[in-house]
Structure formats: structure tokens, C-alpha cells
Structure 1
Amino acid sequence: MDAMHTMEELVAELNKYNYYYYTLDAPIVSDKEYDALYDKLVALEAESGIVLPDSPTQRVGGELLKGFVPHRHLAPLWSLDKAQNIEQLRSWNARVLKLVNDYNSKNPEQPLPEPGYAVELKFDGLTLNLTYRDGRLVQASTRGNGTTGEGILAQVKTIKSVPLTIPFKDGVIEVQGEGIMNLSVLAEYNRTAADPLKNARNGAAGALRNLNPKLTAERKLNAFFYNVGYSEGIEFHDHQEMMQFLRDNRFKVNPYLAYFDSFDEVTEQLAEIEEGRSKLDYLIDGAVIKITDFRIREVLGYTDKFPRWAVAYKFEAEETTTVLESVDWNVGRTGKVTPLARVEPVELAGVTVQNCTLNNIGDIERKNLKHALGTRVFIRRSNDVIPEILGKVTDEKDGGEIIYPDHCPACGYPLEMRGAHLFCNNKLNCKPQIVARITHFASRDAMDIETFSDKTASQLYDELEVREPADLYELTPEQLVKLERFGEKKASNLLQALEESKGRDLASFLFALGIPNTGKATTKMLADHFRDLNAVMTANAEELSALPDIGGIVAESIVSFFADPFVVTGIRRLLDLGVQAKAPEAPAPVVTDSFFSGKTVVLTGTLQKLTRDEAAERLEALGAKVTGSVSKKTDLVIAGEKAGSKLAKAQTLGIPVIEDEEELLRLLEGGAPSEGSKG
């Protein structure tokens, strides 16, 4: 009876969460929490042999919304068996091999081949089922309960990656895919949205299950396709043939699709996908492994709920909920004062999370967090970046108020609001700003002063009154050896590193200065173009804006920076103390008649046969200007694997893209461009 009572509670709780997620599009728990409860219910059902009539394990989807016309699928849309770890995945494969061997022992005259495997990404969006009759899109629906879904044809037609007509005109087919919202599109949407979206999955699901197709269009959704569920007039022998059919018929197939004969290679591929997931421009929550041969699929068949020939391998969750406990305000090197959220410790993607980023006051307001202290919030972690708070779980203003500071938390100076950010303008006497500026100046990509750290900068500030980078070059051995944790050797090493740093080139020096809104690519471009520090310092906004990768805002930032007497005095002191800011070496003669000559090129994603730096060097030798961001001035984008927002922006702007690395290498060797490369 205890097990029965627990099962009743679990079923009631999970059905409530399903209602919020599927029917209201307003989830109140994370996928990680839902999956844990679901797995507990599955285990109890297996133990007891009892399944309650309304158990969520007995159905695939949620309730139909009023206002949508029901659509009965021509073939069932199956759920997938799940594997949470490699051991469970190996168990699935062992079952597949056993069933294949059993069949072959009974049918020696027509044995099945050795199983091969397809590995696809498991997208985190909304399942789409598209119906085409004689080459024309006549219906689109959600998964629903696997048998009947909601007709959303008008909404799906707003997705530009969905073909309205296809070349195949010999009957009726149903094609399955996933409607998604790219992360770069979500970021752009939330930048101006009055009601920001909590995440990309909700953005896609809410748009597609909305009765107003205009709202769907505003979300600029995307879709990937991965299955033909029903077909008249055509048969497929294997997964490769079916995927080629989708490509040939203008369906968008995700490039991250791999085939293997060995199951060990499958597990290696899964590790690669999980490692690279944070670089993708869309959400995935795992990978799907499928047996490729359709004869094997037919023999393996289905259970009540899922095919035996496919399994979903779930990754560690990157999103969960926790309690927002407090907010601290930190001062950066530019004087920007940013909030840092302290949350109740929670496990996420294999680490314990206690701190989360909040970008600025505007971010707090847009995410409905102003009255959120002590309440539950959604958080998301990508790669090693500090997790971000996505929003409040509920919309009520039922928590403690986050108080915005009006004076600098470090030095007490009155704060100024610029846009959505707070700033402390006390750059001469605010310790966190000064320590951060000096630490940045000494960093590897800047002056590369070995042995230097933020702790060193803080100690020198406190004990030797170091207030700006030039002060570093006036330090003496006698001053340093008196400091705590500084012996003669450490003092000597620091002074030697400072002496060596005087010979850094102009690009490194410009980056070390910390000019607002500029990064390494911009400072290198400034150094290569002007080749002289004074020329950079005296350049006007018009001259700067004419350069690739520099817009009006960046140009004004550079001009304003060098107009500051404090900055100019600091630079003069550095030069007087022997810092050289060497002009770059004279460039090698540039080829002027190559495919790349005169083109502004952006590299994005991962190349296999060249590093990004090697590719950039070779492109520049062939007359290209390599820049860091995509704009209307960009002539060409070279996209390696896992290219994200830059590729998406290039496609939006209609900029030519090279996605084939072999094509790139051929062009670098002087080959003629193919049709797809001409720009």
C-alpha cells in the first residue's frame, strides 16, 4: 500500500507538471527534476507490476489546446527509450545484438547484416509532423499524444526552413522534425522584448502552440528534420537513404549526423558531442542512436511505447531551478558595477553552483527578478561559463526586493546610470577598478608579465601605492623584498618579467590599455593599419569607422579613450619608462589576384586541418582582411564545425558562406571557386 500511495502522489505531481509544460507552456520545474520523478515512477511500476490508468508513462504527450484542429497522424509518432549513462546504453545495444542473433539463427537463409549505427543530436524544442501530398505541404501538427496532435499549419508556414513544396510528387508522406529557436535569435529577441522569454525551448513551443501566426513569425523559428514516418510511393533500405531523400527534398538536415559500424566509436562520438554542445547555437539535451538498416528495424519492431531500434542518450542537465538568496554588486576595470547572484547550492552539469550572473539592472527588470529574493529561479550553465539566471519560476512578485545601489560599494562614490548599467566614475581612487586595470595590463594577451596575478596587483596597491600600469616600471628590488610572500627570487623574477614586457608589440600594448568595446582582433587590426601608436591616438571617428570590424560605437569609444588626459599622461609615462609599443613587422607582399583578395572574411567554428590562427594568416597572405564579427561589411564567412551565432547572422544578412573545409583548402592553394563559393 505504501508503494501504491507513493505512485498516486508521483502520478498527480507529474501530471500537474505536464499540464504546466505542455498545455500552458509555463514550466514550473526543470527537466532534470521532472526526469528524476519520472524515473522513480517507472521503477515503482516495474517493481509492483501496477500501472495507474492516468500514469504519464502511458502516453507520449499532453492535452490538446482548445482552438486547434486535431490531426490524426498517418503513422504513430513514437517516444524513445532513454539511457542515462554508458552502461544503460551498452545494455540497449546488447539487447539489439541478441535479437539480431536470435533472428539469424532461425533464418540462416536470409540473415540480417551486422548492425550499423546513426548518431544524431537530440534537439530541445517542439516535435513537428509535416504532411505533404503530391509535393505540397498540406498539414503540420504537434506530436500530441503520439496518435493525434494539434494542427499548426499556419504557424509552421512562418518557419523559413520548412519547404512549402518539395520535388517528391508521387504520393503522401509525413516528415518529422524539431521546431527550435536559435540561441542567437533568442538573445536578439530578448534584447528588445517587453516580455522576455525564459529559454529557447519555451520560445519555440510557445510560438508554435499560439493561435496567432504573427507572433510565431516574430520569433524567427528554425527547424531540423530527421525522419520520414509515413510514405507512399517510396521505400528506404537504410537511414542514409532516408536522410538523403530529406536533403534532396529541401528539408533542413542537421550537419551533425554520423554513421558508425563499431559501437565503441558511437560512445566516443557521444563524448565529443557533449563536450561541444555549449558551442552550438541551439539547445540539445542529448543524442539519439538509431540502427541504420531498415530490415533490422522491421525485425526489432516496437514495444508499447518506443522502437527497439533507437535510444535517446541523455546528457547531464544544463538547466535547473534553485533559490535566489542574495545579490552582491561588483566593480570592474571600466567602473561598471554589475550584480552577482548568490543562490542556494545546486548540482548542475556535474558541478555545484552557488553564484550566477545577472548582467545589469535592465536584466533584473526584464526577467521579473526585482522582487525575487528567497524565491525559486531557473538557472542555466553552458561549458565553464558562470551560470545565468533565466527568470523567476512564477510570475508573482512574492519575494524580497533587490535594492539597487546609488553609491559605489567599493569606494562610496555616487554612481551614474548609463543605459541599463551603473558606473563608478572614480577611476583614480576606486581600488577594484585600478586592480582590474593593472591585472588586465599584465595578462598573457596583453603585456604578458609572467608571475603577475590579481593578488599581486592587490598587494602592490595596498602596500606600495601602485595606482596605474606605469607605476609597475618604477618598482625597485628593495621595495619588493620587504613585501609579505616576496623573497629575493620572486622580486627578481617580477622585475625581469617587467623588463621583458617593455618590448611587446603595438597590438599587445593597445590591448593592454583596455580600450572599451575593443578586443584582440580590433587592436591587432588597429596596429596593422596605423603601424604607429601616435597615429592610433590621433585618429578621428571617421577614419576609424572606415576600417573593417569597427562601427560607430567602437570608433567613438576609441576616440573618447584617447581624448582622456589621464589616459594620455599614463601612456606618456609608460613610453618614458622604456615601454616600446613596437610597430608590427613589415607585412610580406600580399597576393592581389586571389579569390580572397580585397575580401573582408570572418572565421567561425572549428576547422579540422588548420587552426584558426593558421587559416587567418594564410587568408591575410592572399589579400583578405580577417575580422572578428559579422556585419554588412563582411564579404565572406568561413564556417567550421559547431559554428554558431556568426553563421546564423551571415545567413540572415545573405553573406556567402564556405562550410566545406576541403573547398577552403583548395581556394587557399589557388584553386578556382565552385558555384557555392562565388561571392
Structure 2
Amino acid sequence: MADFTAEMKTLIEAIEQHNYNYYTLDRPVVTDAEYDKLYDRLVELERESGVTLPNSPTRRVGGELLKGFEPHRHLSRLWSLDKTRDKDGLNAWLTRVLKLVGEYNKQNPDNPLPHPTFVVELKFDGLTLNLTYDKGILVQASTRGNGTVGEGILEQVKTIRSVPLEIPYKDGTVEVQGEGLMFLSVLDQYNQTAAEPFKNARNAAAGALRNLNPQVTAKRKLSAFFYNVGYSDNLRFTDHREMVEFLKENRFKVNPDIKFFDSIDDVMEELERIGSNRLSYDFLIDGAVVKVADMRTREVLGYTEKFPRWAIAFKFEAEEVTTVLESVSWEVGRTGKITPVARVEPVDLAGVTVQNCTLNNIGDIERKNLKHALGSLVYIRRSNDVIPEILGKATEETDGEEIVFPENCPACGTPLEQRGAHLFCPNRLGCRPQMIGRITHFASRDAMDIDTFSVMTAEQLYQEVGVRDPADLYGLTYDDLIKLERFGEKKANKLLAAFEKSKECDLSSFLFALGIPNTGKTTTKVLAEHLGSLDKVKEASIEELIALPDVGGIVADSIYSFFRDPLMQDSISRMLAAGVAPRAEEKPAAAADESHPLFGKTIVLTGTLSAMSRDEAADKLEALGAKVTGSVSKKTDIVIAGESAGSKLAKAQSLGIRIIDDEQELLALLGE
């Protein structure tokens, strides 16, 4: 056994050195065949001895499927960063820094702080990692979480070959922060053979690191850059440069694009250089980070409730490029709305190749002066994960061909109706995309949550079994399904069981599943909570509906008309006759703390939250006594804006409403 162990240790040291050369330094010194020979010998020894050492690289391939993520409390808090988008904001930050340094030096003339110097680093667009090493061994890895507690993802992080499983520093415990990334070239290679290609590298990396199967993580071939030592029980650094050298000496992958400057003007030049070169990187960035370099100055400057005073993130504006508008097609939605979709000449934008863009409606086309823009240069913009949007023409000339608005439905040929800025197909019973869209929406997770159902299933049932309405689903039999292509006994029985299970549903989900025009999940939840039964919703007058929170005249009229439509009445009656039993969810009355700052506040959620879903956030806010609504008005007290917040955020800004756009502030208010 001793001989086995000695040889395994030698092999591990050699393999990890080669991993460091290849994945961290990008300077391989052996061929793939030579590397494989070492690795295969280690696997052979582990199999023969039945022993796998804790730092063995064979542990990187991903082990058993995990049951869940265990919480990990960070040894030192991971802070958010204050943000700015322009030079004025950067100068305002510098003014605060100089003021605090000046005040300290007046009070401590015998031990003054040096004049501030700065370091500029890239702001990676990935998933924050916090690694814990004890006596040189990687013992934990976690997500950022709320800054205090994250999710343990050690097995997933072990699959990243640029993450050292063991480091030379053995004198205590350290926590090191970095960013998990999928390089764009790796994403491109992955998507060439993937059954379901990823739209962007950030989602690919975040999904891999939060996947309970580490083998899935391993297949994504992630990388990571490291930039901070957040905790050490023994180490102390004099400045940022010294900390970076420690990271390099301990085999962490450090991005070489770190620059040090004495003046803020030089910092600004560097920020402009990074912004102009952002597409040249093989990974996504969304800005840069400026920090005071001296560690003692950082200690003196300290922190606000949310941010370190000694650092600021310089966020790039949403990127815009020009390309040629090639064509416009017209898609039919489940409500009959006709939506124009623009196809543009492929162009790289924020790390993604863009070909399709939203145009919203015919009013949007006219407002943006795009009516004669086919074949012309147009501006497009993409921010984070938002669908690219055409902003307008890039030239003043009327040099393009006309976008011809359709007069008849592109799917069924029915003459279209114009309602406001939108075109609609009124043929609800004979327009294939509308019916398939209604059926797919009805079965979706946020609606009736019919397991295994998909748009492909809806199309197949429409084409081969004659399903034309969601109510038809509950009349399907085993004999109907078993004759369908790709439907075996197991799949047919599973779908029938899912139909049966969906019959016991909560009222708000059922109302959402019906697809009432101009209503979403928030409105259907209000209807269920305040009216309490399907019969009362069906019978409510327009006046009763308008009296409900978040229901205005247009929405009230849509709800009232929907339940008086003979087609909808027949569909609902057939569902109820089949055993569908929607019931309002009974929630135990919770005594909210009236002293809580959110008690009695009217709050709107918009955009995407990373720590929780919007529904989860709404439930927590309501438990604190807040009222969550779906639209912004003068009565709104607070707007909580996540990533990709759009028109609701803009309206809140125009009305001067308080905006919470930092999730750490939200989590603090929620007591998390």
C-alpha cells in the first residue's frame, strides 16, 4: 500500500503541474498523449488499491448525483459594489475617498495614509465563487448567495481544471473569491453538438455550477478567474499587487488584464480602453472594477451598509451596433396578436451572435421610422439577457424598401383587425397557432403544470387527435394516445396521470391557465384571493373588478368580457364536468409586524431576481404586510428591479418612486 500511495502522490503532483501549465498559464509542456498516460496510470493504481487520495485529479470528473445544495456560511462577507456608468460618477466616488482619507490624516498626523492609488480589473459576467482552503486543501466551494450564506457547490467546482485542489500555502485557512465562466470559444464548440444549445455563456456557466449532477458540470468545461483573498486567519497584505502575487504563486488563474494607476484620469482612460475592446475577450464582461490599492486605506475607509467605500464598479452601457434589416415576418400568438419579428444580418453583440430582433407591433415600427427600412442599416441594442431590440434607422435617408403590414392572418388567412397599435386575428376556433398556443399555455408550469407536456405534444394532439381547446385534453383516452408516434405505453399512461393530477388545482393557476387577455399571474392571484371562488370571478361586475387592487378599467373589461364569451363559457363548463376543481388557496393569517419598513407599502416587482423567483419574493413581501401589485402608478411606494427590468423601471424613475435595484438590500429587508 505504501508503494501505491507514494506513486499516486508523485503522479498527482505531476498531473496537477500539467493542469496548471495548461489551464492556468495556457502554456502546456507535454503532449495530450503523455498527459493521458500519467492520468491512466493514476486511475489504474486507484482501482487496484481501492484508495483515492483527497487531492486526486480523478475527482474532477464528477461523482454521484447530489440530493441538494447545503448552505455554507462564508468566513468573511462577500460585498456588493456601488455602481456608476460615467466619469462624473467615478469622480464623485473619488471625492468621497479623498475626503475620508483627508479627515483620517488630520486626526492621525503621525501615521497618515498614502495618497490613493488605484487598481482596475475586469468585471466578469459569470457566477461568483468562494473557495475555502484549509492547510492548503480545497475543503469547500460555494456561491455568493446573500453575501453571508451561499450554497455549497464543492463537487461542481472540482470539475473546473483551473481551480487548484491543493495550494502551496499551508499555514492556515483562506477564502478566495473568483468568477466561474464558460469561455465563448468553449460555448461555441459545445453548441455545435449540443441537443439544446445555450443562448449565452453566463447562463451556461451558472446552470452548470448549480446543477446537482457534477458530471453535467464537467461536460461544460468551465474556467475561473480569481481576484481576491476575502479571509485569512494569518495572512496580511500591504496592497492589492501583493495579494495578486499571492494568488499567482498559489496557482490560481488570474486575468492578466489588471492595471495599476496613480491618477483617476489614467483610470478613466483604461476604462474607455476596456469598453472599446470588450468584444475582443473570449469571455463576457459587463464592466470594470476600480479599487483603492492600499490595504490599510481600505480598512480605514471601511464599508457602508451595502458596499465597500474603497471600490466601485464601472458598468458599461447597453451595447449598440448597426446591421442591415433583412426581413420582417409576422407571428401569431395564442391571443391572436400578430407580432412582427425582424431578421437582421448576423452581428456580434455583447458576446452573442444576433439574427432576430423584436419590433413589438406596427405602432413601434412607425414610431421608430422603420416603415421604409428593409435593406437599410439599423441600430440594435442588447442588454444582459434581453431579446435584442431595433432602436431605429442608422441613416436619415428613405433608402429602404417598405415593410408591408399584413391584411390577412399569415396562418389562416382571416382578415385582421387593428386594436390600438396591434393587429389581431379574430379566428379563435380556426387559427392553428392560436389554438396550439392556448393549449400549450394552459398546460405550462405556471398554469395547470401538466407534467411532460410541451408545444410538440400540443401540435401532435392538434394534428392527429383533433384537440382544439384545453377542455379537449380531459377527454383523451389511452386508445387516443397509444396510436401516436413516439407514444408508448409508459408515456401515454404518464400523460393521462398528469391530466388527472392537474384537476386538483388552485384557483389563481386555473385563471392564469385560461389565458384571460390583459391579465398575468399577479392579476389572477388578486382575483383568487379577493373573490375566493370561480363562480364569484365569473359573476363579478366591472365595478366589482375595478375595486380590486391592480385592476384598472381595461383589465376589468377584459375579465368581464372573457367570462361572457360563449366559447369560453363552454370550454370552462366542459373542464368542470370532467372533474377540474379549482379552489382558492387558503393561507393562514399571519400577523405582520406593523413596525416593519415594508408594512403597508405598495410594491411592484420587475426584472429577474437571482436569489429567488418573483413569486417567492412576492410571498415574502406580503407576509411582511406589503401589497404587491403588477403595475406602476403614483400609488406605488417601491419598485424592486432585478436584471433586465424594462418599462416599469423607467416609469418608476419618471415618477420619482423609490427603487431597490440591489438584491442585497432586498434580502436585508426580508430578513435574509
Q: TM-score normalised to the size of structure 2?
A: 0.55
How many Å separate the matches in 2 of 1:403 and 1:373? 10
Shift of 1:332: 0.7
2:212 alignment partner in structure 1: none
2:629 alignment partner in structure 1: 627
Query: Is 1:459 paired with 2:479?
Result: no
Shift of 1:605: 6.8
How many Å separate the matches in 1 of 2:608 and 2:329? 37
How many Å separate the matches in 1 of 2:180 and 2:511? 43
Shift of 1:649: 4.1
1:541 alignment partner in structure 2: 542
> Deviation per CA, 1:80-101, whole angstroms, max 9, x where unpaired?
xxxxxx999xxxxxxxxxxxxx
SS in 2 for 1:354: strand
Shift of 1:411: 0.8
1:280 alignment partner in structure 2: none
Shift of 1:268: 7.0
How many Å separate the matches in 2 of 1:441 and 1:597? 35
Instruction: Verify the 8 A CA contact 2:117 2:262 in the aligned structure 1.
Output: no
| Counterpart residue identity of residue 396, structure 1 | E
Q: How many residues align?
A: 432
> Deviation per CA, 1:410-463, whole angstroms, max 9, x where unpaired?
111111111111111011101111110111001110011111111211121122
Instruction: Verify the 8 A CA contact 1:616 1:626 in the aligned structure 2.
Output: yes
SS in 1 for 2:471: helix
Instruction: Verify the 8 A CA contact 2:474 2:578 in the aligned structure 1.
Output: yes
How many Å separate the matches in 2 of 1:540 and 1:381? 43
Shift of 1:578: 0.8
How many Å separate the matches in 2 of 1:335 and 1:530? 28
1:488 alignment partner in structure 2: 489
Question: Which residues in structure 2 correspond to 1:43-62 (within 5 Å)?
Answer: none
2:498 alignment partner in structure 1: 497
How many Å separate the matches in 2 of 1:608 and 1:355? 26
Question: Which residues in structure 2 correspond to 1:179-190 (within 5 Å)?
Answer: none
Instruction: Verify the 8 A CA contact 1:300 1:309 in the aligned structure 2.
Output: no
SS in 2 for 1:581: strand
SS in 2 for 1:333: coil
SS in 2 for 1:601: strand
1:345 alignment partner in structure 2: 346
Percent of counterpart pairs with the same letter? 60
How many Å separate the matches in 2 of 1:383 and 1:667? 26
2:210 alignment partner in structure 1: none
Shift of 1:648: 5.6
Shift of 1:586: 4.5
1:395 alignment partner in structure 2: 396
1:520 alignment partner in structure 2: 521
Instruction: Verify the 8 A CA contact 1:481 1:491 in the aligned structure 2.
Output: yes
2:619 alignment partner in structure 1: 617
> Deviation per CA, 1:192-213, whole angstroms, max 9, x where unpaired?
xxxxxxxxxxxxxxxxxxxxxx
Shift of 1:589: 4.4
**C-alpha spacing 1:614/1:459, structure 2 compared with 1 (3 Å):** closer
**C-alpha spacing 1:231/1:663, structure 2 compared with 1 (3 Å):** closer
Further displaced range: 329-338 or 541-550: 541-550
**C-alpha spacing 1:445/1:265, structure 2 compared with 1 (3 Å):** same
| Counterpart residue identity of residue 450, structure 2 | I
Shift of 1:612: 5.0
Instruction: Verify the 8 A CA contact 1:439 1:453 in the aligned structure 2.
Output: yes
How many Å separate the matches in 2 of 1:566 and 1:657? 43
**C-alpha spacing 1:228/1:563, structure 2 compared with 1 (3 Å):** same
Query: Is 1:433 paired with 2:405?
Result: no
How many Å separate the matches in 1 of 2:622 and 2:469? 36
How many Å separate the matches in 2 of 1:605 and 1:462? 37
2:329 alignment partner in structure 1: 328
2:41 alignment partner in structure 1: none
Shift of 1:311: 7.7
Shift of 1:352: 2.5
**C-alpha spacing 1:238/1:361, structure 2 compared with 1 (3 Å):** farther
> Deviation per CA, 1:172-228, whole angstroms, max 9, x where unpaired?
xxxx348xxxxxxxxxxxxxxxxxxxxxxxxxxxxxxxxxxxxxxxxxxxxx94445
**C-alpha spacing 1:411/1:583, structure 2 compared with 1 (3 Å):** same
1:193 alignment partner in structure 2: none
How many Å separate the matches in 1 of 2:507 and 2:348? 45
| Counterpart residue identity of residue 376, structure 2 | T
**C-alpha spacing 1:335/1:302, structure 2 compared with 1 (3 Å):** same
Shift of 1:353: 2.2
Instruction: Verify the 8 A CA contact 2:642 2:661 in the aligned structure 1.
Output: yes
> Deviation per CA, 1:445-497, whole angstroms, max 9, x where unpaired?
00111111112111211221111001111111112222222222222221111
How many Å separate the matches in 2 of 1:270 and 1:234? 40
**C-alpha spacing 1:266/1:525, structure 2 compared with 1 (3 Å):** same
How many Å separate the matches in 1 of 2:670 and 2:263? 51
Question: Which residues in structure 2 correspond to 1:289-308 (within 5 Å)?
Answer: 301=262
| Counterpart residue identity of residue 381, structure 1 | R
**C-alpha spacing 1:664/1:496, structure 2 compared with 1 (3 Å):** closer
Q: TM-score normalised to the size of structure 1?
A: 0.54
Unaligned runs of 5+ in 1: 1-85, 89-116, 128-175, 179-223, 243-257, 277-288, 671-679
SS in 2 for 1:346: strand
Further displaced range: 388-397 or 373-382: 373-382
How many Å separate the matches in 1 of 2:645 and 2:343? 32
How many Å separate the matches in 2 of 1:620 and 1:308? 47
2:363 alignment partner in structure 1: 362
2:132 alignment partner in structure 1: none
Shift of 1:240: 8.8
| Counterpart residue identity of residue 633, structure 1 | K
Query: Is 1:600 paired with 2:602?
Result: yes
SS in 2 for 1:504: strand
1:386 alignment partner in structure 2: 387
| Counterpart residue identity of residue 380, structure 2 | I
SS in 1 for 2:580: coil
> Deviation per CA, 1:336-365, whole angstroms, max 9, x where unpaired?
111111222223233332222211111111
